[in-house]
Amino acid sequence: MTVDDWLADTRTSYDTVAVDYAHLVRDFLANAPYERAALALFAELVATAGGGPVADVGCGPGRITAHLGTLGVDAFGIDLSPGMIAVARRDHPNLRFAVGSMTDLSLADSSVAGLIAWYSLIHIPDDQLGAVLAHFRRVLRPGGPLLLGFHVGDETTLKTEGYGGHPMKIKVHRRQPATVSARLRESGFRVESETTLTSPESKLGAIIFARREP
């Protein structure tokens, strides 16, 4: 399968489920204290580093973008799915959202003070992960914080239905924190923290804090 093939499948799948997905996940953070703490720490790290725009890459319906906004972060969202971006703009009209792909991130070099990918790397195949992380490093300012959330595991599964029973065709790649941390170091990041947890966000999830090395 080519990059264009799985990107097209992912885009179409999330366009199809966008409205139901947004409804389903809307209140997840209310019951996820550890994730809220991680997001608050991320906001603090961005502020300590001098502040500035923060990219929520793979933002979906914009709920994390909006939560960061309540923490004083100048966050904006990017997502592959136009359907998701339409829902994000509907629900959060005061925030900035754009259609785009993390495989070809159209942001200027060193243009963001922080970057978050919240359970959005899970659809990136292993052979594309290095290129995505290279884009993350490119657009981050030196020393800028990176926050990743993802499902933990060792398997890849094909999701054919979800979020209201709609048909989907997406692969979900679960990874071990040590594996992701190693890929980050290879890509020019300093890993500062790894945490695993369970919550409404994930039956077994991981959160990694890293910084772009100079």
**SS3 per-residue string spanning 52-89:** CEEEEECCCCCHHHHHHHHCCCEEEEEECCHHHHHHHH
CB distance 15 to 83 below 8 Å: yes
The predicted structure's pLDDT at residue 3:
60
The angle subtended at Cα 146 by Cα 144 and Cα 151, nearest 5°, is 175
Output Rg (C-alpha) for the chain, integer angstroms: 16
The pLDDT of residue 2 is 57
pLDDT < 50 stretches in the chain: none
List the beta bridge partners of residue 118: 149
Name the amino acid, one letter, at 5: D
Query: Which amino acid appears at position 68 of this protein?
Result: L
- The whole-number pLDDT of residue 164 equals 81
Angle at 17 between CA 13 and CA 18, to 5 degrees: 110
3-class SS at 178? Answer: helix
Query: Do residues 24 and 163 make contact, with C-beta atoms less than 8 angstroms apart?
Result: yes
Take residue 141 and report the two structure tokens written for it: 């300012």
Alpha-carbon distance 133 to 90, whole Å?
30
Place of tokens 């990219």: 55
Q: pTM here?
A: 0.95
In DSSP terms, which residues pair with 190 in a beta bridge? 211
**Alpha-carbon 171 to chain mean position:** 16
Which tokens in the block code for residue 16?
Answer: 């199809």
* Single-letter residue type at 67: H
